[in-house]
Amino acid sequence: MQILMSDDAYSRIAGDLPTDLDILTLGPEGEVRRGGTVITDSDPEVFWISGDLWLAGRLPGMFRQILGGRSGKWAQTFNAGLDSPIFNSLMAKGVRLTKSSAQGPAIAEYVIAHAFSLLHPIAEAKAAQAAHDWRRINFREIGSTRWLMVGFGAIGSEIAARLKPFGAHLTVVRRDITPDPLIDAVRPIGDLVALAAEADVVVLACALTDQTRGIAGAEFFAALKPGALFINIGRGGLVDEAALGAGLDRNQPAMAVLDVFETEPLPADAWFWDHPQVVATAHCSAASDGVEPRGDRLFLENLRRYRAGEPLLNEAQPSEVGL
């Protein structure tokens, strides 16, 4: 069985791979190597699309190998969301695709850290310190807040797990309204606007699809509870950015934490950069030290399952890529 991965990924997991596999690595110019020697007759069955390929700008070379091959049957990707058209092409070719859940803990910590830092009056306390102003600053406990989250996949469930011990009320909006111990209430997507009026914190943690594109639009922000906190770690296309800007002017929301945008990289003249009510980060909510090793472990476990004919973890359905 031939498996193609990046040379960096191979250097990390070489000692954990079965010895009977034919391991091929993708070089910096898209060349395929076996044991350091360039080969021209490769036809891998399995592909590990690891995050280091994206960081190095080498994803196109990997996708060319998958789409141009004859024997490809399964690809593990570092991506949690599959809105890129390339995944439609892979699955249309008959390649099974498994998503990553490795980002979940990191993105959950990003959400909780930013939310708590804005809910608690840290900035106000710092300003009082700078002014040498000895005064009492009251605050609201996290346990008395109400959270509304759109989506409850690998990332949403990690957010919920970290929020639960603080006692906040969490309502999740999703297609599947089956109850979950981490959730206080589950409602269908059609209730989103009505629920916005009750939420102190709104988190978008869903995939970008035809159904969710622009889900946070003018109607949503007009209904949002004044003073609420809005966090988007899903995709930029979930939000009507002009409607968000108008909402910020009305204090609906009071603050927005945005890690994803319609246009990325964010243009230098984008209004988000200098807006006093926006925290903007460069799509790096998963840039933690734990994502890569978790991703490697997930690939190795799915490789074991694949060879044993067992169900794969996080396998994508055709509907997730528009098929």
**Residues designated as active site:** 235, 264, 283
d(CA 315, CA 298): 12
d(CA 58, CA 62): 7
Q: Given its phi and psi angles, is residue 273 left (phi above 0), alpha (psi -120 to 50 degrees) or beta?
A: alpha
Tell me the angle at which helices 154-163 and 104-119 cross, rounded to the nearest 10 degrees.
40
Which residues have CB under 8 Å from 304's CB, separation 6+? Answer: 310
What values do phi and psi take at 23, rounded to 5?
Answer: -90, 125
What values do phi and psi take at 168, rounded to 5?
Answer: -70, 150
Quick check: 111 and 159 in contact, CB under 8 A?
yes
Give Cα separations from 160 to 10, 139, 166, 299 (angstroms).
34, 22, 10, 25
Across the chain, where does the E strand assignment appear? 2-6, 22-26, 32-34, 37-39, 46-49, 74-77, 96-98, 146-150, 169-173, 185-187, 201-204, 229-232, 255-258, 278-280
CA dihedral sign of residues 269, 114, 215, 195? negative
d(CA 233, CA 260): 6
